[in-house]
Amino acid sequence: MKTTPEQLADRKSAINPWFIAITVMLAAFMELLDTSIANVALPYIGGGLGRSYDEVTWILTTYLVANAVILPMSAWLSRVFGRRNYYLVCVGLFTVTSFLCGISPSLGFMLVCRILQGIGGGGLAPVAQAILVDTFPPSKRASAFALYTVVLVTAPAIGPVLGGWITDNYNWRWIFFINVPIGLLALFLTTKLIQDPPAFSAERAALRKTGKIAIDGTGIALITLASAALEITLDRGQIDDWLGSNFICWSLGIAVLGWIGTILWELYVDEPIIDFRLLKNRNFAIASVLFFVFGLGLFGTTTLVPQLLQALYGYRAIDAGLVLGPGALVITVLAPISALLLQRRIVSPRMMMTFSLSVVGASLWHFSTMNLDTNGGHYLMGRVFQGIGYGFFFVPVNMIAYSMLRPEQNNKASSLTNLFRNWGGSFGIAFITTAAERRQDLHQVNVGSGLGSSSQSLQQHIHTMTNYLVSKGFTGPDAAIGAFGTIYRQLHDQTQFLAFMDCFRVIGWITLASVPLAFFIRKFVPSGEPSAGH
């Protein structure tokens, strides 16, 4: 006997929505973890596969490129194939390819698997967010967004720590194998708990009846080309010397023209893959910009802090990663509190957003005031300070994003918000890797120009250092060479530190510059009845 949509809705309404939320968050956590867990393992992977470090960095690039290509198309793909079917395929593909990455016998095999893994992973986060939006009524979405905040922040933060621990104590292949049991559990729970909303089911039935489906081939080609070119440019730019490389110049040109063409085309067609028309909604447009700023700040500093601690303070990767842990813990604690405050209307989303951005900006400015004598505890507290700001960010920004949208627009909106967050993260990481090196060169020139060979303080320092090394058993010539080397290392460390502080300062100013956007948000009251489907 065929199940009617009404019977299906009744059966699904009996399921606790938090079971559905936890189910989709399992897969989202798995995918977000994979964006950072392989970073610290690259030297081990290179050694295991017999390839250079530069070659194995493509393991990161191929995954990010495939992820960036699929992410903006996820709403369209889930609508065409059915959200549940598409989500199951994404989870299954990600799980299988994770296992294949773990058994890879060669770099070529690994790169193919990482591309397929990125394709599977690209749809997980936006579809998971869309399911949350449809599962919880507007008056209770804040709590669901709080859970999503915990996953979004915690997974990238613990990735390097977990990856370092696994490679130090076991084998690099296990950074991929750990996805398999999580993926199998997510597959099982999805088949039991997740169903398409009635609107999706009705649309699928209509498509089966007519046998027609509009496939925007031009849009798919443009999005694929533009997304891939942009991600390659951002991920490989600093490695290949940006505009000093013909490859990067071509890639950047294709990315710019590709996205211009994509936007114009998608605004022209009746059934766009990416609905840029949603940006006409003021609240959604502001939220999209804030998602970009969030990605820029969170992923940029998540890259910057461990890099700084390892380069200048001698931290191991796992120890540097642990400094990020308390910040993620603070967000885990504060996100539910922010949801409670919003649901009870104690604080408005606009005011909470203003507070959040101000605290994050102030925390980044605090980071930029540190010096080489600052110990790791101060960086840990700075990260906690930053976590306080981000703990009150993600819940209100999601409420703002969906506040003025119709239910049928939620799926398309989730792809766009995740696209802006992904762009922010990619730009943030690219900015850190580039600015840190370029600013160091500038500071080295400026500081070095004040230390000419005739500088009395420099000569006195060299003389003191040489005498010290002689007293420790060095010969005169060796002591002189050692003195020069020590002073150069001190100069290098100081200028590198100044470059890192510049990066914190710039991200802080960008965050603070976004605060006025909160005052342009249209007021709204969270309300509504539970959605009929999931």
pLDDT tens-digit readout, 164-177: 788 878 888 999 99
Among 1-5, 277-281, 325-329, 472-476, the minimum mean pLDDT is found in 1-5
Predicted confidence (pLDDT) per residue in 62-102, tens digit: 888 898 899 999 988 888 888 899 999 999 999 999 999 99
Query: Mean per-residue pLDDT for 5-30?
Result: 73
Q: Using CA atoms, how far apart are residues 439 and 506, in angstroms rounded to an integer?
A: 12
| DSSP result, 383-394 | HHHHHHHHHTTH
Q: Decide if 482 contacts 469 (C-beta within 8 A).
A: yes
Q: Which of 179, 161, 43, 165 is nearest to 114 (CA)?
A: 179
Q: Using CA atoms, how far apart are residues 333 and 185, in angstroms rounded to an integer?
A: 26
pLDDT at 310: 82
Predicted confidence (pLDDT) per residue in 329-347, tens digit: 898 889 999 999 998 889 9
What is the percentage of the chain residues whose pLDDT exceeds 90? 39
Q: In 372-472, where does DSSP find H-type helix? A: 376-391, 394-402, 410-449, 456-471
| 529 — pLDDT class (breaks 50, 70, 90) | very low
Query: Mean per-residue pLDDT for 199-227?
Result: 76
Query: Mean per-residue pLDDT for 92-114?
Result: 94
How far is CA 436 from its chain centroid? Answer: 19
First to last CA, the chain: 22
Query: Mean per-residue pLDDT for 221-228?
Result: 93
pLDDT at 375: 83
pLDDT at 167: 80
Q: Using CA atoms, how far apart are residues 424 and 429, in angstroms rounded to an integer?
A: 9
pLDDT at 504: 95
H, E, C per residue of 252-284: HHHHHHHHHHHHHHHHHCCCCCCCHHHHHCHHH
Q: Using CA atoms, how far apart are residues 432 and 137, in angstroms rounded to an integer?
A: 39
How far is residue 104 from each of residues 59, 100, 379, 429, measured CA to CA in Å?
12, 6, 38, 27
pLDDT at 92: 95
pLDDT at 531: 38
| 133 — pLDDT class (breaks 50, 70, 90) | confident
One-letter amino acid at 275 equals D
pLDDT at 210: 62
pTM for the model: 0.84
Residue 528 pLDDT exceeds 50: no
Query: Mean per-residue pLDDT for 412-433?
Result: 89
| 532 — pLDDT class (breaks 50, 70, 90) | very low
Mean pLDDT score across all residues of the chain: 85
| 1 — pLDDT class (breaks 50, 70, 90) | very low
pLDDT at 366: 92
Question: Tokens in use for 367?
Answer: 């980071």
